[in-house]
Amino acid sequence: MRSRGLRALAVTAAALLVTAVAACGGDDPEATGASGTAGVDDGAQLTLWTRAATESVSKAYAEAYNAKHKNKVTVTSYPNEEYPAKLASAAGAKALPDLFGADVVFAAQYASQGLWTDLTERLAASGLKDKVSPGHLNAGTWEGKNYAVPHTVDMSVMLYNKDLYTKAGLDPEKGPTSLKEFAEHARKIDKLGGDVNGTYFGGNCGGCVEFTFWPSVWGAGGDVLDAKGENAKVDSKEMSDVFALYRALYDEGVAAPASKDEAGPTWLGALQSGKIGIAPGPSVWLGLIEEKGVKMGVAPISGPDGGDSTFIGGDAIGVGATSTKAAQAWDFLLWTMSEEAQVEVIAKGKGVPIRTDLASNKYSSADPRIVLINSLVAKGKTPYAKNFNASFNDPQSPWLQTVRGALFGDAAKSLTDGNNAITKSLQQG
Amino acid sequence: MSTLTPPRSGKARPLPAPEAPRPPRRFRRSAARSRAALGALYATPTAVMVGLFFLVPLVLVGWMSLHKWPLLGAPTMNMPDNYTRIADNELVESAVWFTVKYTVLMTVLLFAVAFGLALLVQQRRRGVGFLRTAFLLPMAVGFASASLLFLGLLSDEIGPISDLLRKLGVIDGYVSWTSGSSESALGSAMVLVLWRFAGFNMLILLTGLQAIPLEVYEAARIDGASRWQTFRRVTIPLMRPTIALVLTMMITGSLLAFDQFWILTRGGPDNSTTSLVMVIYREAFIRLDLGSAAAISVALLAVLVVFNVIQLGVLRRRS
């Protein structure tokens, strides 16, 4: 009797224990998806940091997401130049935001530094891995793991002023099909005289030059970097030809004199003035220039003798490594990659969808220029290198010195010396 | 009080003044101890501030300079790699030479202008108050704001300076003041610093000038000294501590130059105006190599300590 009573007590105790464990299981992060692959929408307040250049897109995403979800995303933007320092300081203080975007070319560096949470399993389970911009995805990959997903796409294209084309006797509906033709068009427009200049470029801005010149190198069949981003190839014939063409335009006075000093801040303003005939620039500027009453045409950036390409830029985004709301942050990222967000937020706002399967959509077909821009995604490239910022974009980078030499100094020596210096910088630990 | 007590006997004999009651030794010791404790209590807030905001970061920077220090994760000791790598960094080499060149030029020019302004407004005359205020006014503008202001003023796209000079026939065609050539970029930054800091240094020098007693000048005049002799033999020697102070401030400020080049020239053209602090910034926030940035900072700190020791030596010799 006694032993039976003890056994009953033990069974009851065991049952209670099992129930208690099961009850605790309800808070298990795995069960709620906190460390699982699904997103969680439980009313969390999420912080998102972005650079000023892509702030409007991030805010549009957040606004649309907040309207239909319990989670609320607050977007904070910082000036482009100060953004990397802001992120580095936040990482040092272990106070990164729940989500942060980065210029896609810097993504590899942030991934290698472990600033983003590993999203490999979540991305694999989402079924979106093969549908989003591969260049962006590659940029946010480090040692085989995915740390970031595409957020915004911005591509380089030739933007030309239709009124100046007409005045110069050129067909405003027909942009150049090669870089040599671009130079001819620029020369013809420059002959209009007065304040008008044939073209414009950022000759004191490493980022501007790589964004607008490299597609011509790719279009000609050349390359600028190896696949691992550890060796430069800027001393190639293709690169030399592209620099020579722009240099001639500057020497002849076809390119506006301020091109030599353009460090980036007044680049858009120069095109908005309506006094530049044709210039390569970001596709997102199309709307910004037309807002100023300048009618613009769009053409692909070509190699000297043809062959189109583009630099697929924009932002990649990931979950901050110090965030405690990874599942909720992933819910937001999953939604931004959804068809709803890509069509109703991005395409509707005349942006380029990050989904390759949504390049054609109900909004893009309304404007043939957008169709052209979207079609370039398949032809373009996003360079990959861990030390991209230090090697190419930073004002003290060896690339900017190379650019200055190739455009305004001893071109051959600059490209040879620059190639060694950039390779050394790319390989730096 | 006790000396006024009338004598008990008829013979007037001054009584020895009784000693004031002395507290027992133990009490004296505890009073002294409590006074010391009170003093320490008064000093505590400052000590905590100095420790927290000066000593701890200093030690941390030194410690960082001995490590490979990632943004997230555990640091690993790599002593003395961060220091030996400084020698391989070509940008450091060019930045050192540029910073030294800028420091020498800036110190000489800023001192000459500030001293000149101080001598100009030394005597009380009509309009001197206005001049003193006008010279000091640029100090009211933040340095980063002043740099942006100059960037706008000197821009050929949006600023009036180039247009004005073209109308006056001084320049012809397009001129880039901030990135056209290394000389013009350096010149632009120097004009900015002169505009922003000459008044402040003038104020310090003026204080030193006015601390010299007028009698000394009168004596020199009676002795028949010329103005130049008075300046050389009276003003300069008596101004030595003040001069040492402003020179140290100028040298330290120039060696730590950052804002003017970061905003105005971005270190260009072709890295010709990249200062040492810009290299530290690049190492920390562009290359994300905090250990390397810390090592260069420590090396720069050592140079600054040398300059400050020299200044203290000069000041102590005078006092």
For A332-383, what is each residue's pLDDT tens digit? 999 999 999 999 999 988 888 998 888 888 888 888 888 888 888 878 899 9
User: Mean pLDDT, to the nearest integer, of A89-117?
Assistant: 94
pTM of this prediction? 0.83
Chain A: closest CA distance from residue B96 (Å): 15
Contact B288 A88 (CB under 8 A): yes
Bridge partners (DSSP) listed for residue B119: none
User: Min CA distance, A365 vs chain B (Å)?
Assistant: 38
Q: CA torsion sign, B174 to B176 to B182 to B188?
A: positive
For chain A, the residues whose C-beta falls within 8 A of a C-beta of chain B are 84-85, 88-89, 91-92, 94, 109, 113-115, 204, 257-258, 260-261, 263, 266, 269-270, 321-322, 387, 389-390, 394-396, 400-401, 404-405, 428
Put simply, the answer to whether B157 touches A401 (Cβ < 8 Å) is no
Is residue B6 very low, low, confident or very high in pLDDT (cuts 50, 70, 90)?
Answer: very low
- Read off the DSSP letter of residue A224: S
Average pLDDT, chain B: 88
Mean pLDDT of A398-404: 95
- Are A85 and B285 in contact (CB < 8 Å)? yes
Supply the pLDDT for residue A183.
Answer: 97
Q: Report the SS3 class of residue A359.
A: coil
Q: With bands split at pLDDT 50, 70 and 90, how would you rate the model's confidence at B163?
A: confident
Q: CA-based Rg of chain A, rounded to a whole angstrom?
A: 25
- Chain A CA closest to residue B95: A396
- Phi, psi dihedral angles at A158 (to 5 degrees): -85, 125
pLDDT at B2: 38
> Taking an 8 Å Cβ-Cβ cutoff, which residues of chain B contact chain A?
70-73, 91, 155-158, 173-174, 176, 178-180, 266-271, 274, 278-279, 281-282, 284-288, 290
- Asked whether the beta carbons of A97 and A48 are under 8 A apart, the reply is yes
Calpha distance A422→A403 (Å, rounded): 12
Count of other CB atoms within 10 angstroms of residue B282: 25
The pairing of strands B67-68 and B76-77 is antiparallel
Residues 6+ apart with CB under 8 A from A382: A104, A105, A133, A135, A136, A138, A139, A311, A312, A313
pLDDT digits (tens, 9 = 90+) for B265-306: 999 888 999 999 999 999 999 999 999 999 999 999 999 999
Q: What is the pLDDT of residue A47?
A: 97
The interface predicted TM-score (ipTM) is 0.81
Q: Which tens digits make up the pLDDT trace of A43-83?
A: 999 999 999 888 889 999 999 999 999 999 999 999 888 89
Cβ neighbors of B312 (< 8 A, separation 6 or more) are: none
Contact A394 B72 (CB under 8 A): no
Q: What is the rounded CA–CA span in Å between residue A73 and residue A332?
A: 8
**Torsion angle (degrees, nearest 10) of CA B249, B254, B256, B258:** 130
Question: What percent of chain B lies above the pLDDT cut of 70?
Answer: 89
**What pLDDT, on a 0 to 100 scale, did the predictor assign at position B4?**
40
Q: What is the pLDDT of residues A282-298, one digit of tens each?
A: 998 998 899 999 999 99
CA angle A391-B60-A84, nearest 5°?
A: 30
Local structure of A27: helix, strand or coil: coil
Integer Cα distance of A125 and A174 in angstroms? 45
C-alpha to C-alpha distance for B112 and B118, rounded to whole angstroms: 10
Buried b or exposed e, range A218-250, using 16+ CB within 10 angstroms: bbbebbbbeeebeebbbbbebbbbbbebbbebb
Instruction: Report the interhelical angle of B128-136 vs B182-210 (nearest 10°).
Output: 130
- pLDDT tier, B16 (very low <50, low <70, confident <90, very high otherwise): low
Q: Is A22 helix (H, G, I), strand (E, B) or coil?
A: helix
Residue B159's pLDDT band, with cuts at 50, 70 and 90, is confident
CA atoms within 13 A on the CB side of B65: 20
Residue appearing with tokens 């000036």: A79
Q: What is the pLDDT of residues B92-112, one digit of tens each?
A: 999 999 999 999 999 999 999
Residues from chain B contacting residue A258 (CB–CB below 8 Å): 156-157, 174, 176
The candidate with the shortest Cα–Cα distance to A215, out of A132, A281, A124, is A281
CB B305 within 8 A of CB A103: no
Q: Among A175, A205, A209, which residue's Cα sits nearest to residue A189?
A: A175
Residues of A in contact with B71 (CB under 8 A): 88, 91-92, 113-115
**Tokens encoding A353:** 């969808």
CA distance B189 to chain A (A): 16
On the CB side of A240, CA atoms within 13 Å amount to 13
Angle between helices B290-318 and B56-64 (to 10 degrees): 130
The 3-class secondary structure across A248-293, one letter per residue, is: HHHHCCCECHHHHCCCCCCHHHHHHCCCECEEEEECCHHHHHHCCC
CA distance B225 to A392: 64
pLDDT exceeds cutoff 90 at A39: no
- A184-207 residue pLDDT tens: 999 999 999 998 999 999 999 999
All residues at 6 or more sequence positions from A348 whose CB lies less than 8 Å from its CB, including other chains: A363
Cβ within 8 Å of residue A150, ≥6 positions away: A104, A132, A133, A136, A137, A314, A315, A316, A317, A337, A354
CA-nearest residue of chain B to A261? B179
Q: Which residues of B touch A389 (CB under 8 A)?
A: 286
Question: A321 near A114, Cβ under 8 Å?
Answer: yes
Do A279 and A61 meet the contact criterion of CB atoms below 8 Å apart? no
Which amino acid appears at position A250 of this protein?
Y
Nearest to B254 by CA among B114, B93, B109, B100: B100
In this complex, the residue of A114, A204, A400 whose CB is nearest that of residue B72 is A114
Q: What's the confidence (pLDDT) of residue A265?
A: 78
Can you list the pairs that B214-219 forms with residues at least 24 positions away whose Cβ atoms lie under 8 Å?
Answer: none
Nearest chain A CA: its distance from B173 CA (Å): 9
β-bridge mates for residue A5, sequence order: none
User: Cβ of A109 and B179 within 8 Å?
Assistant: no
pLDDT at residue number A382: 93
Judged against a pLDDT cut of 90, whether residue A34 lies above it is answered with no
